[in-house]
Chain A
Amino acid sequence: MKFTDHPLEHMLVLSAVIFCAGLYTILTRRNAVSILMGVELVLNAANINFVAFSQYTRIGGIHGDVFVIFVVLLAAAEAAVALAIIIGIYQNFGRVDVDQADQMKD
């Protein structure tokens, strides 16, 4: 079996691996920046799925690619706000561990 017989399945398996690694990162890390990296991995896995379905099937045409643009922009907005919050947590608590930051106000 050559690769081109099932290119879609190969891309989906790759994105499943990236998704699971991202989920593992989110679950196990205490550092807020690490958790943010895990979220980026999960979003990337979703993007790979969008592009793969859009390119390897005829269903939907270009719309999968357009959705990827929106997801990337949302990820950019989310990263900006999340990092600002992380800087705020660091200024208040002196560390960025998520299990330490358990107060809304110090």
Chain B
Amino acid sequence: MGASDIFLNALFYLFAVIAVAGVVGVAASRNIVRSAFALLAVLFSTAALYALMKADFIAAAQVLIYVGGILVLIIFAVMLTHRITDVKISNESTPGPAAFCAVVCLLFALVVIILPVPDPHHNKWDAGRGPEAKRYENSDYTLLQFQADGKTGLALGGGTFEDEAVVGIRADKWPDDALRVMVEVVPSEVVTREDVEKMIAAHAPEEAILRVIKERGSTALSPDDLAALTKAGASDSVIARMQASVERAQLSEPIAKNEPQVLVRISKLKERKYAWKVKVVGGDKDLTGWMSYKTDGADFEVHRGVTQPIAFALSRQYLFAFEAISVLLLAALVGAAFLARKEVMDR
């Protein structure tokens, strides 16, 4: 557990404590203005918790709509209706102590339902957290990837950064001389030698070629590729960029013979689609060939934050719901203006 994890956890607890203090303030304060400002603390710390859960767009929407809109409306209403301090605060139909007992019982029941049973191997949410597994064709090996719809790394528990992915391999039986596994992560839309040759043939400017290589990554160059590229007229900077952005290979920790599963954490991934492959090595020779998770296409995609996925979801799957709610908001706006104006019109 690194320093950044401890820092993230401390922030989680800090904002959770602020939120709980805020809700106690809302529920218990006799002064309605104080209640409104305690609600402000709750809404802000909830926004911070969303940001810590990597839902950055939700956090921004929370601050803009709840804090900027709804809370200002509420404070406005408090100021307009002059009774700021509630003398007879409690509702007679439900006396405070009875309501308090009922709510505490409800909270107790909820917490009992939520918290896992003490057995650490029986976590009821685990089914949602496991890896995607796929057996490699007719071999003893199963390839694993921990990845959740653009939320890579989170599958092993919270508090990891989004530019990390965890991939692994499970063996029915390790070969006797197996020492480590090697994982290679490749951007799945990489620029190849042929692509560069095509771009040069189409007289693309050098800056454009450099930008494409930077955006999509590139494959490793063999000596033949180098010679062919030089012959095609690629400049030195293009070749240097091709070699600088090749795929990254990573060795695992040494394999423990009694542990069937080896995981490798790959960090500092850029925001793009990736494919990965793995092989078992022993000493200086390879014991298996490269095993790819999928034969073609990307295996996982790295997103920073949820803004882009939400935009896609809203504009495709949820387009009708989005339009419907905008009509509803408009109706609420007109209705609110009408309701608030009615009395003045009658006079």
Residues of A within 8 A of B (CB): 2-14, 16-25, 27-31, 33-34, 36-38, 40-41, 44, 47-48, 51-52, 54-59, 61-63, 65-66, 68-70, 72-81, 83-88, 90-92, 95-96, 98-99
Given contacts A7-B159, A16-B114, 11 further A-B contacts (CB under 8 A): A14-B20, A21-B23, A30-B92, A33-B78, A37-B39, A40-B66, A44-B43, A51-B55, A56-B125, A83-B77, A84-B338
**Hey, which chain B residues are within 8 Å of A80, CB to CB?**
73, 332-333, 335-336
Q: Give Cα A12 to B61, complex, Å.
A: 21
Closest-by-CB residue of B relative to A52 is: B53
**Hey, which chain A residues are within 8 Å of B329, CB to CB?**
73, 76-77
Instruction: Indicate if the CB atoms of A30 and B86 lie closer than 8 Å.
Output: yes
Instruction: Indicate if the CB atoms of A17 and B46 lie closer than 8 Å.
Output: no
**Hey, which chain A residues are within 8 Å of B107, CB to CB?**
16-17, 20
Main SS of chain A's interface residues? helix
* Most chain A CB inside 10 Å of its own CB: which residue of B13, B27, B313: B27
Closest-by-CB residue of A relative to B97 is: A28
**Hey, which chain A residues are within 8 Å of B62, CB to CB?**
47, 72
Instruction: Indicate if the CB atoms of A72 and B93 lie closer than 8 Å.
Output: no
Instruction: Indicate if the CB atoms of A3 and B9 lie closer than 8 Å.
Output: yes
Instruction: Indicate if the CB atoms of A21 and B26 lie closer than 8 Å.
Output: yes
Instruction: Indicate if the CB atoms of A4 and B159 lie closer than 8 Å.
Output: yes
Closest-by-CB residue of B relative to A14 is: B16
30 A/B residue pairs, CB under 8 Å, sorted by A: A3-B9, A4-B5, A7-B157, A8-B125, A9-B115, A17-B23, A18-B19, A23-B106, A27-B91, A27-B102, A29-B86, A29-B90, A30-B92, A33-B81, A37-B36, A37-B39, A38-B26, A51-B50, A55-B53, A55-B55, A57-B148, A59-B128, A61-B149, A65-B55, A66-B310, A72-B65, A73-B329, A79-B70, A84-B339, A95-B81
Closest-by-CB residue of B relative to A31 is: B86
Known: A2-B9, A24-B99. A58 touches B42 (CB 8 A): no
